[in-house]
Amino acid sequence: MSFVILDLNMEEQSKEENMQMEQLNGGNQIDPSTTYSAEPTPGNTGPPPMGRMRILKNVFVVSVGFMFLFTSFQSLSNLQSTLNKDEGLGTGGLSVVYGALVVSCMLFPSFVIAHLGCKWTVTLSMLCYIAYMALNFHAIWGTIIPASIIVGLGGGTLWAAKCAYLTQISVWYAKLTGAKKDDVMNRFFGFFFMTCQTSDIWGNIISSTVFAVTPGNTTNDIDSCGANFDPTAPTGNNSNLDRPDDTKVYTLCGIYVGCAVIAFIITAIFLDNITLDKTPQGGDSKISFKLFLSTFKHWWGSTPQKLLTILTIYSGIEQAFITGDYTKSYVSCAIGIWNVGYVMICFGTVCAICSWGFGRLVQFVGHVPFFLIAFLSHGGTQIALLLWQPNRDNQLLIYVFAGLWGIGDAVMQTQINALYGYLFTTNIEAAFSNYKLWESFGYIIAFAWSGYLVTKVKLGLCLGFLTVGMFLFTIVEIQDRRNKKDNTISYNIAMQEHADSVKS
């Protein structure tokens, strides 16, 4: 893919805008006892250690590596609710994944990044995902639970290191080009998630091809599908929910393991190691109770972080719903497991296109219009799913709703990440650990209730979290604009006083 996609010829910031941004970032500073700051420190005020093209190359490499990794993991996750449905093994395992991810977010990122650096933290964390997919060859409680714990522990360090890496090189690129840091972060994260979200396309093409069947005597007993789907009720004679042959399952797992190995090789060979602009901290070199509390310390000390918590939780809930509930209640139940891949390709394609487009447009219109789009697309889809009864005669709507969900998901992935990078630049690692902590909490509760609640109840909970989260985000946006205005006024007063003193 051409690097033209990442052409960042943005307007150059004026000196006044730079000073206002520095004042704004200073107002958000939290005790950085266990964080990595993307801001230059007194000992690191020289030019960035790599040029523009090398930075763009690293954005490309980390994006493609994650694409291969999540071609395997995300697509296998999409199938868990149907593939390993007995006793709730699939969704139960996914809940454990994100439970372990919460622990990892709180304990390990600072320690692991301090010892390995961002590159090798990302690369070695991928081995945890490879182990998870390999253990799916024999999916029982004795293998899925240990595998889920392993991938969850690796996931916390993987995402924290990736976010710190992209944020750091975004700051360097902004310094090289004179562009606004917020704009560069939006563009880099937009490209990353555009590329990463295409994993839904490739992984689901693989699953639909492997599981392809010629439907035989499928039943018309699908009245219990959709919003009325009850995971605790017997499936009756609905053959759409039958598990595929073991041979096909083994073939799929083998292909997915291969994709994850390719991801490991790409990042190990082609991703450059970097040193984060940070003040060295002695506590980074060991796991301690202080580090365990650092994530909550940041949360407690930051009002914007507390206000964004509900929306961040929702970002986990909505991804869990499309992965575990929509695929089973609306797709597998109504039109068969072999169609899950095709529907999720639609979701992934829309999400990838919107991730790229929103990342480019946000510099012109800001975050707010896109969060409004997410609220309307997800809120409207959830209401429609509550009222609509799926059947084989209107399969097109299943794809339409998946696409609408992809629009909202693109906003949740790109804009919340970029918003965290913008608001918490001076405390970046703790902020992104909070992001994965609360997003993972959303996954945990959504996968936990997935095997017990009727789908319409889950849709109601999704709508509630979305509404409250968007309301609290609005408060954050209002506060941020007031802070900018106050900083501008203070700066103008200071400049006027300086001019008066020079005249006198």
pLDDT digits (tens, 9 = 90+) for 394-405: 889 999 999 999
Greater pLDDT, 470 or 284: 470
Q: What is the pLDDT of residues 120-162, one digit of tens each?
A: 999 999 999 999 999 888 878 888 899 999 999 998 899 889 9
Residue 352: its pLDDT value, please? 80
Percent of residues in the chain assigned helix, strand, coil, to nearest 5: 80, 0, 20
410 contacts: CB under 8 Å, gap ≥ 6? 193, 197, 350, 351, 352, 353, 354, 355, 358
Residue 111: pLDDT band with limits 50, 70, 90 = confident
For residue 288, pLDDT beyond 60: no
Residue 19: pLDDT band with limits 50, 70, 90 = very low
Count of helix runs (H) and strand runs (E) in the chain: 17, 0
Question: What DSSP element (H or E) covers 344?
Answer: helix 340-365
Greater pLDDT, 107 or 259: 259
Residue 40: pLDDT band with limits 50, 70, 90 = very low
Residue 56: its pLDDT value, please? 94
Structure token pair of residue 302: 């930051």
Average pLDDT (55-83) is 89
For residue 269, pLDDT beyond 90: yes
Residue 14: its pLDDT value, please? 31
Q: How far apart are CA 270 and CA 57, in angstroms?
A: 9
Q: What's the Cα-to-Cα distance from 450 to each of 88, 90, 125, 290, 364, rounded to whole Å? A: 9, 10, 28, 35, 39
Q: What is the pLDDT of residues 55-67, one digit of tens each?
A: 999 999 999 999 9
Average pLDDT (63-79) is 89
Residue 351: its pLDDT value, please? 86
Average pLDDT, the chain: 80
Residue 13: pLDDT band with limits 50, 70, 90 = very low
Average pLDDT (115-122) is 91
The residue assigned the tokens 């599981």 is 211
Longest dimension (CA), the chain: 94
Residue 394: its pLDDT value, please? 82
Residue 236: its pLDDT value, please? 63
Q: What's the Cα-to-Cα distance from 204 to each of 145, 340, 348, 349, 445, rounded to whole Å? A: 24, 8, 9, 11, 25
415 contacts: CB under 8 Å, gap ≥ 6? 186, 358, 362, 367, 370, 371, 374
Most confident of 37-41, 256-260, 345-349: 256-260
Residue 339: its pLDDT value, please? 85
Q: How far apart are CA 229 and CA 371, in angstroms?
A: 30
Greater pLDDT, 417 or 267: 267
Angle, CA 97 vertex, CA 95 and CA 102 arms, to 5°: 95
Structure token pair of residue 157: 């360090």
For residue 22, pLDDT beyond 50: no
Residue 289: its pLDDT value, please? 62
Q: What is the pLDDT of residues 340-382, one digit of tens each?
A: 888 988 888 898 888 878 877 877 888 889 999 999 999 999 9
The pTM of the full predicted model, rounded to 2 decimals, is 0.71
Structure token pair of residue 328: 């089973």
Q: How far apart are CA 327 and CA 207, in angstroms?
A: 13
- Say which range, 34-48, 217-231, 428-442, has the weakest mean pLDDT: 34-48
